[in-house]
């Protein structure tokens, strides 16, 4: 796992990524937690997965743990499900080459405490992502997780980040 995570960081460096972001498919009974961004922010009002930038000196999972504490009030140790990580690249609001690496985390309970970054949350069935304000990249990430969790993962090499273009 450690080698694998380091490989993801090395790949991002090699690919010229300036901003590494970690995200989570937090799920309970097959439903996935999504958050609505505050209206005043860049891309305000969209729905997104809990996510945030990796800070200098932080490991990926350390960053994920901190972001989940900040964004949904989870202070518990996280259990990352092995075998799933989905990646997409985008240009951030400040123009940086960003890559979001999204891991899967089971929610033992559904208690969520939002920060000021988000105005609402809900648990969505992956089949209903078309009926949301998720970006195509977030929607694809949720679909990839749903396929993975159904044991019907038809994406070759799904334990590696998938390159999903904003168009695709």
Ligand X SMILES: Nc1nc2c([nH]c(=O)n2[C@H]2C[C@H](O)[C@@H](COP(=O)(O)OP(=O)(O)OP(=O)(O)O)O2)c(=O)[nH]1
Closest distance of CB 2 from ligand X, Å: 26
Closest distance of CB 129 from ligand X, Å: 12
Other Cβ atoms closer than 10 A to 154: 8
Q: Judged by CB under 6 A, which stretch of 92-100, 108-116, 121-129, 152-160 contacts ligand X?
A: 92-100
Q: Judged by CB under 6 A, which stretch of 74-82, 93-101, 125-133, 151-159 contacts ligand X?
A: 93-101
Cα R_g (the chain), whole angstroms? 15
**27 three-state secondary structure:** strand
Query: Residue 94 interacts with ligand X (CB under 6 A)?
Result: yes
Instruction: Map residues 37-76 to x or -, x wherever contact with ligand X holds by CB under 6 A.
Output: -----xx----x--x-------------------------
Closest distance of CB 37 from ligand X, Å: 7
Q: Judged by CB under 6 A, which stretch of 1-9, 76-84, 90-98, 145-153 contacts ligand X?
A: 90-98
Q: DSSP string covering 90-157, please?
A: EE-TTS-EEEEEEEEEE-SS------TTEEEEEEE-GGGGGGS-B-HHHHHHHHHHHHHHTT---STT
* Angstrom distances, CA of residue 98 to CA of 1, 43, 52, 95: 23, 15, 11, 9
Whether the CB-CB separation of 55 and 63 falls below 8 Å is answered with yes
Instruction: Map residues 115-144 to x or -, x wherever contact with ligand X holds by CB under 6 A.
Output: --------------------x-xx------
- Closer CB to ligand X, 109 or 131, in the complex: 131
Q: Which residues on adjacent β-strands are paired with residue 122?
A: 34
Please work out, in degrees rounded to the nearest 5, the angle formed at the alpha carbon of residue 27 by the alpha carbons of 152 and 90: 80
Out of 98, 104, 105, 112, the residue judged to bind ligand X by CB under 6 A: 98
Interface with ligand X (CB under 6 A):
19, 42-43, 48, 51, 90-94, 96, 98, 100, 135, 137-138, 166
């Amino acid at each position: 796992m450690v080698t694998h995570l380091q490989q993801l960081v090395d790949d991002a460096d090699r690919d010229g990524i300036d901003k590494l972001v970690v995200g989570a498919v937090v799920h309970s009974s097959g439903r996935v937690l999504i958050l609505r961004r505050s209206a005043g922010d860049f891309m305000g009002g969209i729905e997104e997965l809990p996510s945030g930038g990796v800070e200098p000196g932080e490991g990926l999972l350390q960053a994920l743990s901190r972001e989940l504490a900040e964004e949904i009030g989870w202070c518990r140790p996280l259990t990352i499900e092995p075998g799933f990580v989905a990646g997409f690249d985008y240009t951030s609001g400040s123009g940086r080459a960003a890559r979001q690496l999204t891991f899967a985390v089971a929610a033992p309970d559904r208690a969520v405490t939002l920060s000021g970054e988000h105005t609402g949350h809900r648990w969505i069935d992956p089949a209903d992502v078309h009926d949301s304000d998720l970006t195509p990249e977030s929607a694809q990430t949720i679909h990839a997780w749903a396929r993975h969790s159904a044991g019907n993962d038809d994406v070759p090499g799904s334990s590696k980040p998938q390159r999903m273009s904003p168009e695709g």
